[in-house]
Structure 1
Amino acid sequence: MPRAGLTPATVVREAAVLADEAGYEKLTLAALAARLGVALPSLYKHVRGVDALHQQLAVLATAEIAEVLTAAAAGRAGSDALRAVATAYRAYARQHPGRYPAAQRAPDPADADHLAAGERAVGAVRAILLGYGLDGDDAIDAIRMFRAAVHGFVALEAAGGFGLPRDTDRSFDQLIAGLDRAYRSWGDR
């Protein structure tokens, strides 16, 4: 019999907290069962296995990032919106170091919730790019550029990959200023 109060949503929320505390790579069903105080087989009443758990964590994290990015962009345009969204993205990665990697998983076409969350996250960036006059294929390229640049920065930062004696906040500001210049001059090539 399932533990009273334990639901699939509760299992995923606790998995997210565990991932943030221990690291995404250490998120196992055994560790989660111990955290929840249940026997490992009891988890299978709420989640089909570790792959399904990771998929549900990806949905949760992607939805959270979408919410954060959308809120950061609200009422802003141009470089102000770009900076706000990039800063919010970086802050999310710092605050949630275990669930952030789960959000890097491409949405599963069979998972409507994951697809919708992914569209909301991409939509926040796409809306900013429309302000730069970027649409269609140019917007896709620019979205990929944004994600590669900001994700690359936060991943290197999280791994301790910036050893040079310069403030990383300053470097991040320069990165965003560079993206802004690139987007403003997109049609000049």
Structure 2
Amino acid sequence: MSPRPKVGLEFTKILEAAGELADDYGMQEVSLANLAKKLNIRPPSLYNHFDGLQGLRKELAIFGIDFLYAELAQSAIGVARDEAVIALSKAYINFARKHPGIYEATLMAPDPEDMDVQLAGEKVVNLTVRILQAFKLEGDKAIHAVRGLRSILHGFSSLEQKHGFNMELDLDESLVMTVRAFLIGITG
């Protein structure tokens, strides 16, 4: 396995372009050939930055997780307890809405056990645990709550992206109601 390339402006621009491909056409269209075409370069040039398609997908997954983390962290500034969890939940759903391909990339790391992917994901988990500390959840209970919240948010995002909510009801209102029910569950 080759070491991660040094992150510089060029590398970030390449990942942003890959993210645009994913958002516009889906992860199935993120290939070295399509990315090279978008960047107006020859595909072999990308091997200076990635260890093949697997390397590109790994780096896009980390890029996406870091991007999601930044959105979630920003959402929780200045709010606490229930409102912090609701703000984090809205930020998660809005991220998936605005960046469906990048969101998909966060779930598709070629090797989820890869240490770089793990470290990126741990930041999101640790942020959520810190927010949930207001509910006096610690240790395994905190991790169970994080898993529960993530399951709710991913399920909501997935159903929304697949047009599974066809009724004329406000989706954000449904989200808040569902998160409030979750909060009642973890405080009971």
Match of 1:115 among 118, 122, 132: 118
**Counterpart of 1:172?**
175
Would the aligned equivalents of 2:57 and 2:105 in 1 still touch at CA under 8 Å?
yes
Farther-moved stretch of structure 1 (82-91 vs 22-31): 22-31
Q: TM-score, normalised by structure 1?
A: 0.87
Could you list the per-position Cα deviations for residues 67-113 of structure 1 after superposition, in whole angstroms to 9, with x for gaps in the alignment?
1111111222111101000001111111111100111247845434x
**Counterpart of 2:25?**
22
Match of 1:182 among 138, 161, 185: 185
Cα distance in 1 for partners of 2:83, 2:10 equals 41
Q: TM-score, normalised by structure 2?
A: 0.88
Cα distance in 2 for partners of 1:38, 1:173 equals 45
Cα distance in 2 for partners of 1:33, 1:169 equals 38
**Counterpart of 1:129?**
132
Structure 2 portions without partners, runs of 5+: 1-7
2:100 aligns to what SS in structure 1? Answer: coil
**Counterpart of 2:159?**
156
**Counterpart of 1:89?**
92
Structure 1 portions without partners, runs of 5+: none
Change (3 A) 1:168 1:66: same
Match of 2:65 among 62, 67, 72: 62
Cα distance in 1 for partners of 2:158, 2:51 equals 30
Match of 2:52 among 49, 54, 78: 49
Would the aligned equivalents of 2:57 and 2:108 in 1 still touch at CA under 8 Å?
no
Could you list the per-position Cα deviations for residues 2-61 of structure 1 after superposition, in whole angstroms to 9, with x for gaps in the alignment?
xxx984333222111211111122111111111011122222222121111010001101
- Provide the alpha-carbon RMSD of the alignment: 1.9
Q: 2:148 aligned with 1:145, yes or no?
A: yes
Q: 2:19 aligned with 1:12, yes or no?
A: no
Cα distance in 1 for partners of 2:9, 2:174 equals 44
**Counterpart of 1:75?**
78
Cα distance in 2 for partners of 1:58, 1:117 equals 9
User: What is the aligned residue count?
Assistant: 180
Cα distance in 1 for partners of 2:180, 2:114 equals 37
**Counterpart of 1:38?**
41
Cα distance in 1 for partners of 2:93, 2:123 equals 17
Would the aligned equivalents of 1:7 and 1:46 in 2 still touch at CA under 8 Å?
no
Could you list the per-position Cα deviations for residues 151-177 of structure 1 after superposition, in whole angstroms to 9, with x for gaps in the alignment?
100111011111233222221121111
